[in-house]
């Protein structure tokens, strides 16, 4: 994973984490877990969708469940009026 540039975050990218549960063909009774994390666009998540498409077409482990969480790292600033002015020398 890499640190995003500020311009990427300003375009709406947010830190996205997905827990992917899948079954291996050898042991279908067991669920395996894989954690995926990258900066992606909410709510469509094109990078995650592309990764899951790759998984479904190229890997043997059948997808069982995907749980997604995301957190915007840049949000609109909170503005408040201050009733006093303080000067520092």
Q: What is the pLDDT of residues 51-64, one digit of tens each?
A: 999 999 999 999 99
Put simply, whether the predicted model's pTM sits higher than 0.85 gets the answer no
What are 25's two structure tokens? Answer: 């063909």
CB 52 within 8 A of CB 79: no
Nearest one of 17, 18, 66, 70 to 42, comparing CA atoms = 70
Domain boundaries, the chain: 6-71
Q: What is the pLDDT of residues 2-34, one digit of tens each?
A: 667 788 888 889 999 999 999 999 999 999 999
């Amino acid at each position: 994973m890499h640190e995003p540039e500020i311009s990427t975050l300003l375009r709406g990218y947010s830190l996205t984490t997905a827990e992917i549960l899948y079954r291996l063909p050898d042991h279908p009774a067991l669920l395996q877990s894989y954690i995926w994390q990258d900066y992606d666009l909410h709510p469509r998540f094109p990078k995650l969708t592309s990764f899951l498409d790759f998984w479904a077409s190229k890997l043997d482990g059948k997808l069982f469940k995907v749980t997604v969480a995301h957190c915007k790292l840049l949000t609109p600033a909170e503005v408040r009026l201050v009733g006093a002015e303080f000067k520092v020398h």
